[in-house]
Chain A
Amino acid sequence: MTHRFTRRASLALMGAAALTAAAPAFADEWKPIKPIEMVIMAGQGGGADQLARLFQAIIQKQGLSRMPILPVNKGGGSGAEALRYLKDKDGDAHVIMATLNSYYTTPLRTDIGVDIAEFTPIARMALDTFVLWVSADSEIRTLDDFVASVKASGGTWKMGGTGTGQEDSLVTAMLEKEFGIKVTYVPYKGGGDVATALIGGHVDSTVNNPSEQMGFLRAGKSRPIAALTADRLETFPDLPTFTELGHPLVYTMQRSFVGPKDMPEGAVAYYTEMFRQLSETEEWRKYTAEQALLADFLTGDALQDYFLEERDKHAQILREMGSS
């Protein structure tokens, strides 16, 4: 009995040793073995959600992943729900998260025990742009009209946007500071709701991403006033930028993917390659052109540096917001 036991044990040991030795050789060929969860930091229907679902669609259509991608919306608390969720997934190779700027702002504003420097950067797909919108029924046609109307309203001007402390509210704060105006900021669950609220006349203006207003714009229901970009958007060649009107306000939203802390290296390589291929597809090119997105692919350490730099910038904006 003893003899057999030892033999079995030693066999097992040898097997284990062989496996360990073989593991590094397989590392660069890591492949997902179950469906990949794509956590979305926002509710359904907004810009972040539509984009994440587009990525899912292209990945599946082009066969870029051998396992299906399952999008999961965790939009609660300005993305805090998603961040906490990812924090609990240390080392998981089958979960990725689609980020937006609340990736920095939410942990800066609330102590939710998340440090984004711990997460694994995968790829930045694009920078989304912001435009000031009013309803097509509105009298406002230029930026000067807008500023005059807001001033005349005496603080009752309603600006719709996503959760307090998220991108839309930061852009609103930038506008308030630049023009010395005061608006009533009404938070909604997602950019889609915000866009609908503008068309329904429940708010007076918004700073939606172009993709969120595109459907309404084409139906002649909304009107862009000015873009918060450095240069004019190719999609709207006639739309002036704040910069050229003498107010250098530029703000973009990153659309990236990150993984949890300690994501296996093979998995990071796999997803990076997947998104690189995605960024070169015809569908993606067409979408970025139509929806006024700036495609700007970035990966690895450069992406992490970008994240940390942006985090500092946002800390600064938030401090200014708090002190004003």
Chain B
Amino acid sequence: MDVLALLADGFATSISPLNLLIVLIGVTVGIFIGAMPGLGSVNGVAIVLPLTFIVPPTSAIILLAAIYYGAMYGGAISSILLGIPGASTAVATTFDGRPMAQKGEAGLALIVAAVASFIGGTVSVVLFTAFAVPLADMALAFGPAEEFALVLLAFTTFVGLGGDDILKTIVMICLGLVLSTVGLDIISGEPRLIFGDMPGFYSGVSFLVLAIGVYGVGEVLYTIETSRNAPMVTPARLTFSELRAGLSKMTRMWRTMSLGSVLGFFVGILPAAGATPAALMSYGVAKSISKRPESFGRGNPEGVAAPETANNAASTGSLLPMLTLGIPGSPTTALLLGGMVMWGLTPGPMLFVEQKEFVWGLISSLYTANVAAVLVNIALIPVFVWALRMPFTVLCAMVLVLCIVGGYAPDQRMHDVWMIAGFGVAGYVLRKADYPLAPLVLALVLGPLMEKSFRQTMIAEHGDVTVFVDRPISAVFMAISVLLFLLPLIRLLRRSRARASNPAPAE
């Protein structure tokens, strides 16, 4: 009850006309920033940060949070329409969002993304409101051993899938892990796999560069070959009846979306993880519990809903360690943290006690930001879909330009542009050979985390691997990992038994 009273006070702050206007501006700016490849919520928040001095701290953080939120919604847009992930958090959205657009269902995909984002965000804010303070302790219980177990679990959700060739999946994971070791070793500081002495490789292979290369450029190359004269996507329109139909379709995805929301929120809370692994894991889980796993990657709306619920849920979740522990879960929350220090607020366990008005004003604004973002997003869908009516020759060139700009913008190095070109060709070849690309991307995201947590655990425990099963949280994750790994085998057994007892299956 106490929480509700505090929240009500918070709403009194966030529903003031100034703050509502701020939220609306913030999410609109955020959506556009998120939709531009290469510009993510980090850039958006960084650009706006200096402007926040003209408003009170609570309004300032509301504006920044609204941009952060809007960008999370916007990231899906270019993933779906152009096949270029608008932000790293939206990479998993390309897996099914892009095929949907090619089937002429761009409008539906965008609706699914927007509504799923709304649900993920809202569920997550509710969880945040109810359990913020006790959950901070849960985040603290996550040590290196638990981190490693969680990452392992994420990998098994990808290996233990029905649809893909398991051997090819493992090959791609290994390739991704090799790429993730490029650069300076996190523990000793020694450079590894830098190809002689190329400074460009010191900071490792950027995950966004890989994603833009294999998805954006690779996609363009593949499309040029398969449909030289046909339009890249069938023109799509959006009417109210389609919107209704889309919404009714979504009610059938409640299981995926509720899983995605909860998973996203919890992964987001962990200081080391963040929205990108959350989205990838949610996609893997949705695929492995689906009755038709083979339809994923070929334009299944659930493949859009799963990562979009999770990345929005995680972005809310990652505010929790920032506020309660002063540990940012992502580059953007690090900027928000900077903002708070600027306004003289010390993040940490005492913030919830000493700065009630600020904390609850921010939390309540996440509710309003969610509503505003979903409305603005749906209103803009026709504009975005309209962009797809461009002739193939124009669109194709535009996508390539956006890929290059998007890869160059974050670090402003030509090195990344060459990498994108290389990954584009590699992505095209791999796709022709029918290798799944999602595990490659996943491995590059999780590889560094996995290596770091494993080595930290081994140093701390003097090489004793039993620690992974001794600690309760990590033991549970380990058990689920083993189970998921064996799942395809069990399924196969069950299927063959079902076939033996019932020669003509009902389907």
For A144-180 the 0/1 string (1 means CB < 8 A from B) is 0000000000001010000111000000000000000
Which single member of B183, B186, B338, B346 contacts A53 (CB below 8 Å)? B338
Known contacts A56-B338, A80-B202, A219-B348; decide if A163 and B462 are in contact (CB<8 Å).
no
Taking CB atoms, residues of chain A closer than 8 Å to B141 are 200
Taking CB atoms, residues of chain A closer than 8 Å to B334 are 44-45, 49, 53, 73
Rounded to whole angstroms, the CA-CA distance of A54 and B347 in the bound complex is 13
Which single member of B50, B143, B183, B188 contacts A68 (CB below 8 Å)? B50
Q: Check A192 against B348 for contact (C-beta < 8 Å).
A: no
Q: Check B143 against A45 for contact (C-beta < 8 Å).
A: no
Q: Check A164 against B327 for contact (C-beta < 8 Å).
A: no
For B328-347 the 0/1 string (1 means CB < 8 A from A) is 10010011011101100011
Chain B interface size, as a band, is: 35 or more
Whole-angstrom distance from the CB of A15 to the nearest CB of chain B? 31
Q: Which residue of A is nearest B137, CB measured?
A: A200
Rounded to whole angstroms, the CA-CA distance of A56 and B337 in the bound complex is 12
Q: Check A110 against B189 for contact (C-beta < 8 Å).
A: yes
A-binding segment of B104-112, B285-293, B452-460: B452-460
Q: Does A3 contact B (CB under 8 A)?
A: no
For B386-422 the 0/1 string (1 means CB < 8 A from A) is 0000000000000000000000000000000000000
Q: Check B199 against A88 for contact (C-beta < 8 Å).
A: yes
Which single member of A60, A81, A202, A215 contacts B202 (CB below 8 Å)? A81
Rounded to whole angstroms, the CA-CA distance of A215 and B352 in the bound complex is 12
Which single member of A56, A81, A199, A215 contacts B350 (CB below 8 Å)? A215
Q: Does A117 contact B (CB under 8 A)?
A: no
Taking CB atoms, residues of chain B closer than 8 Å to A307 are none
Whole-angstrom distance from the CB of B124 to the nearest CB of chain A? 21
Q: Does A273 contact B (CB under 8 A)?
A: no
Q: Check A186 against B342 for contact (C-beta < 8 Å).
A: no
Whole-angstrom distance from the CB of B254 to the nearest CB of chain A? 35
Q: Does B436 contact A (CB under 8 A)?
A: no
Q: Does A193 contact B (CB under 8 A)?
A: yes
Rounded to whole angstroms, the CA-CA distance of A70 and B47 in the bound complex is 8
Q: Does A277 contact B (CB under 8 A)?
A: no
Taking CB atoms, residues of chain B closer than 8 Å to A80 are 184, 189, 191, 202
Taking CB atoms, residues of chain A closer than 8 Å to B331 are 44, 73
- A residues 53-95 in Cβ contact with B at 8 Å: 53-54, 56-58, 60-61, 68, 70-71, 73-74, 76-78, 80-81, 84-85, 87-88
Interface-centre pick from B142, B184, B197, B350 (highest chain A CB count, 10 A): B184
For A223-258 the 0/1 string (1 means CB < 8 A from B) is 000000000000000000000000000000000000
Q: Does B190 contact A (CB under 8 A)?
A: yes
Taking CB atoms, residues of chain B closer than 8 Å to A192 are 326-328
For B47-69 the 0/1 string (1 means CB < 8 A from A) is 10110010000000000000000
Q: Does A12 contact B (CB under 8 A)?
A: no
Known contacts A54-B341, A186-B460, A202-B143; decide if A215 and B328 are in contact (CB<8 Å).
no
Taking CB atoms, residues of chain B closer than 8 Å to A44 are 328, 331, 334, 337
Q: Check B338 against A57 for contact (C-beta < 8 Å).
A: yes
Whole-angstrom distance from the CB of A170 to the nearest CB of chain B? 13
Rounded to whole angstroms, the CA-CA distance of A199 and B325 in the bound complex is 10
Q: Check B327 against A193 for contact (C-beta < 8 Å).
A: yes
Q: Does A274 contact B (CB under 8 A)?
A: no
Rounded to whole angstroms, the CA-CA distance of A293 and B164 in the bound complex is 56
Chain A interface size, as a band, is: 35 or more
Which single member of B140, B184, B190 contacts A81 (CB below 8 Å)? B184
Taking CB atoms, residues of chain B closer than 8 Å to A54 are 338, 341-342
Q: Check B460 against A188 for contact (C-beta < 8 Å).
A: no
Q: Check A186 against B327 for contact (C-beta < 8 Å).
A: no
Rounded to whole angstroms, the CA-CA distance of A109 and B348 in the bound complex is 35
Which single member of A50, A109, A221 contacts B189 (CB below 8 Å)? A109
- B residues 111-158 in Cβ contact with A at 8 Å: 139-144
Interface-centre pick from A73, A77, A201, A216 (highest chain B CB count, 10 A): A77
Q: Does B357 contact A (CB under 8 A)?
A: no
Q: Check A45 against B189 for contact (C-beta < 8 Å).
A: no
Q: Check B203 against A189 for contact (C-beta < 8 Å).
A: no
Taking CB atoms, residues of chain B closer than 8 Å to A202 are 143-144, 460
Q: Does B187 contact A (CB under 8 A)?
A: yes
Whole-angstrom distance from the CB of B333 to the nearest CB of chain A? 8
For A120-162 the 0/1 string (1 means CB < 8 A from B) is 0000000000000000000000000000000000001010000
Q: Check A187 against B187 for contact (C-beta < 8 Å).
A: yes
Which single member of A58, A78, A189, A216 contacts B349 (CB below 8 Å)? A216
Q: Which residue of B is nearest A37, CB measured?
A: B412
Q: Check B202 against A196 for contact (C-beta < 8 Å).
A: no
Q: Does A185 contact B (CB under 8 A)?
A: yes
Whole-angstrom distance from the CB of A204 to the nearest CB of chain B? 10
Q: Which residue of A is nearest B47, CB measured?
A: A68
Taking CB atoms, residues of chain A closer than 8 Å to B348 are 214-216, 218-219
Q: Check A163 against B328 for contact (C-beta < 8 Å).
A: no
Rounded to whole angstroms, the CA-CA distance of A192 and B271 in the bound complex is 10
Taking CB atoms, residues of chain B closer than 8 Å to A85 are 199, 202-203
Which single member of B202, B326, B459 contacts A77 (CB below 8 Å)? B202
Q: Check B199 against A215 for contact (C-beta < 8 Å).
A: no
Q: Does B160 contact A (CB under 8 A)?
A: no
Known contacts A76-B203, A77-B202, A200-B142; decide if A186 and B189 are in contact (CB<8 Å).
no
Whole-angstrom distance from the CB of A218 to the nearest CB of chain B? 5
For A190-207 the 0/1 string (1 means CB < 8 A from B) is 001100110111110000
Taking CB atoms, residues of chain B closer than 8 Å to A99 are none
Taking CB atoms, residues of chain B closer than 8 Å to A68 are 47, 50
Q: Which residue of B is nearest A74, CB measured?
A: B203
Rounded to whole angstroms, the CA-CA distance of A57 and B341 in the bound complex is 8
Rounded to whole angstroms, the CA-CA distance of A197 and B141 in the bound complex is 9
Q: Check A163 against B338 for contact (C-beta < 8 Å).
A: no
Taking CB atoms, residues of chain A closer than 8 Å to B325 are 196, 199, 215
Q: Check B327 against A76 for contact (C-beta < 8 Å).
A: no
Taking CB atoms, residues of chain B closer than 8 Å to A193 are 271-272, 327
CB-defined A-B contacts under 8 Å, sample of 20: A50-B341, A53-B335, A54-B338, A58-B342, A60-B53, A74-B203, A77-B190, A163-B188, A165-B189, A185-B459, A186-B144, A189-B452, A196-B140, A197-B143, A201-B140, A215-B346, A215-B349, A215-B351, A216-B348, A218-B349
- Seed contacts A53-B337, A78-B189; 13 additional CB < 8 Å A-B pairs: A44-B337, A45-B327, A53-B342, A57-B342, A68-B50, A164-B189, A185-B459, A192-B326, A201-B143, A215-B325, A215-B346, A215-B349, A218-B346
10 shortest A-B CB distances, which residue pairs?
A: A215-B348, A77-B184, A57-B342, A53-B338, A219-B349, A44-B334, A200-B140, A202-B143, A78-B189, A77-B189
